[in-house]
Amino acid sequence: MYDDRQDEPLAKGGAALAPSTLWRWLSWLGNGLPNTFRAARQLISQKEPGSVLHREGWAVAPHRYRSDARRQVLERALEAIVVEEVFQRLFGKAIFPNFATAHGWS
């Protein structure tokens, strides 16, 4: 949501993202890049062999989803966010855009 105290046309109109937009982004993050995140997890394991990232459970509170399919997407998106954080900490670089581009955004 735009802050309506700003002097921008979108802010003045009280523009906001539709809830479906956020869901599309999370779906893309959770489902759309399996090869990219698999490669990132492999590099993390090589750099930090004691990492337990692959064993973590990615539980999402039940009130955050309405179906099992949505739960799975949210859990994968949560995992992707954590993998991004760990990757950035270990390598000093973000997964996006260079690493993801090198892996064909797949």
Domain ranges of the chain: 33-102
The mean per-residue pLDDT over the stretch 56-81 comes to: 89
pTM summary value = 0.73
pLDDT(11) > 70: no
Residue located via tokens 């760990």:
86
The mean per-residue pLDDT over the stretch 80-104 comes to: 89
d(C-alpha 99, C-alpha 44), whole Å: 13
pLDDT band at 105 (very low <50, low <70, confident <90, very high): low
**In the numeric block, which tokens belong to residue 46?**
């090589």
pLDDT band at 5 (very low <50, low <70, confident <90, very high): low
d(C-alpha 94, C-alpha 100), whole Å: 9
pLDDT(13) > 90: no
